């Protein structure tokens, strides 16, 4: 990975590429799109993931194993397959539109694809398992007796949840937020397919610059920015949860 730093300074010496960032019009827009989509994806996936992890921790042993199986199966199904499925579901003549039409809710197909909505659906679908795993690891280590103690001392269920449970799961939440954010930042496949060229995110822009217009400088600059952001976030995450723990949950 060190070589990346080389490719940052190599294409054109100096900071010309970075100045480009502020001068050109397209670049800030692409970065803004990327960040916005990543933030929405992260919020949605982590809140959904939180509910799921909460339900899993409190389910009976057998049900919990079943849930975990489902989660991991969806985790391991190829990203291409999943994106392709959404393509079939969400297209103009896709299944969702056909069904809605058949029921009579809509008269005209809704545009799910080639816009941010499609990209968001695809990305959230991909990210939820990643959001759940760190949360699950974190929640499983909590001492249930603390919650009982809180109830014993007269707190209501909601109070216990918000004042005791939520703060105690904070490391899990932070780890999960950062993990999902980092992964969605560099996400290539789903935005490229479901965005259909209309929603341009940084990863796709980099690949266009490299493979089609051959502008190594700009691509390297964007990659460096992304890498820098990722490393900072990793550093923050490392203070809350070890990286290997997060993935350890994924593989066991």
- Show contacts with another protein in window 195-224 (CB under 8 A): 203, 206-207, 210-211, 216, 219-220, 223
Q: How far apart are CA 27 and CA 30, in angstroms?
A: 5
Write the DSSP symbol of residue 57: H
Q: Is the dihedral of CA 98, 191, 47, 250 positive or negative?
A: positive
Least gap, CB of 170 to another protein (angstroms): 20
Least gap, CB of 147 to another protein (angstroms): 7
Cβ nearer to another protein, comparing 14 with 93: 93
Q: Rule CB under 8 A: choose which of 3, 102, 105, 153 binds another protein.
A: 3
Tokens, residue 39: 């933030």
Count interface residues toward another protein (CB under 8 A): 72
Cβ nearer to another protein, comparing 23 with 61: 61
Write the DSSP symbol of residue 215: -
Cβ nearer to another protein, comparing 23 with 251: 251
Residue with tokens 């968001």: 120
Least gap, CB of 67 to another protein (angstroms): 6
Site for another protein in 135-194 (CB under 8 A): 147-148, 151, 157, 179, 182-183, 185-189, 193
Q: How far apart are CA 55 and CA 71, in angstroms?
A: 13
Question: Binding to another protein by residue 248, rule CB under 8 A?
Answer: yes
CB 172 within 8 A of CB 29: no
- 136, burial (CB in 10 Å: exposed 0-12, middle 13-18, buried 19+): buried
Helices 243-251, 116-140: crossing angle, 10 deg rounding: 100
CB 169 within 8 A of CB 240: no
Site for another protein in 6-45 (CB under 8 A): 7
Q: Rule CB under 8 A: choose which of 125, 155, 165, 168 binds another protein.
A: 125
Cβ nearer to another protein, comparing 4 with 106: 4
Q: Element (H or E) spanning 82, and its range?
A: helix 79-90
Least gap, CB of 100 to another protein (angstroms): 14
CB 174 within 8 A of CB 240: yes
Cβ nearer to another protein, comparing 18 with 75: 75
Annotate each residue in 55-94 with x if it binds another protein (CB under 8 A) or - if it does not, as one string: xx-xx---x---x-xxxxxx-xxxxxxxxxxxxxx-----
Cβ nearer to another protein, comparing 21 with 225: 225
Q: Rule CB under 8 A: choose which of 129, 172, 195, 217 binds another protein.
A: 129
- 157, burial (CB in 10 Å: exposed 0-12, middle 13-18, buried 19+): exposed
């Amino acid at each position: 990975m060190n070589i990346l730093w080389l490719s940052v300074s190599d294409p054109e010496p100096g900071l010309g590429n970075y100045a480009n960032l502020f001068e050109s019009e397209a670049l800030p827009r692409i970065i803004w799109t990327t960040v916005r989509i990543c933030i929405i994806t992260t919020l949605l996936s982590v809140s959904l993931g939180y509910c799921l992890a909460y339900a899993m921790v409190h389910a009976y042993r057998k049900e919990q194993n079943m849930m975990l199986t489902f989660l991991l199966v969806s985790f391991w199904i190829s990203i291409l397959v999943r994106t392709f499925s959404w393509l079939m579901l969400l297209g103009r003549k896709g299944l969702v539109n056909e069904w809605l039409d058949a029921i009579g809710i809509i008269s005209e197909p809704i545009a799910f694809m080639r816009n941010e909505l499609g990209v968001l659906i695809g990305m959230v679908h991909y990210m939820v398992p990643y959001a759940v795993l760190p949360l699950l690891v974190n929640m499983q280590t909590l001492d249930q007796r603390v919650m009982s103690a809180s109830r014993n001392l007269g707190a209501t269920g909601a109070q216990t949840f918000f004042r005791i449970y939520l703060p105690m799961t904070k490391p899990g939440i932070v780890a999960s937020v950062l993990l999902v954010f980092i992964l969605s930042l560099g996400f290539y496949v789903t935005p490229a397919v479901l965005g259909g060229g209309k929603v341009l995110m940084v990863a796709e822009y980099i690949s266009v610059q490299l493979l089609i217009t051959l502008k190594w400088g700009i691509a390297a600059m964007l990659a460096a920015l992304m890498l820098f952001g990722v490393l900072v976030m990793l550093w923050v995450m490392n203070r809350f949860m070890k990286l290997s723990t997060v993935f350890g949950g994924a593989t066991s």
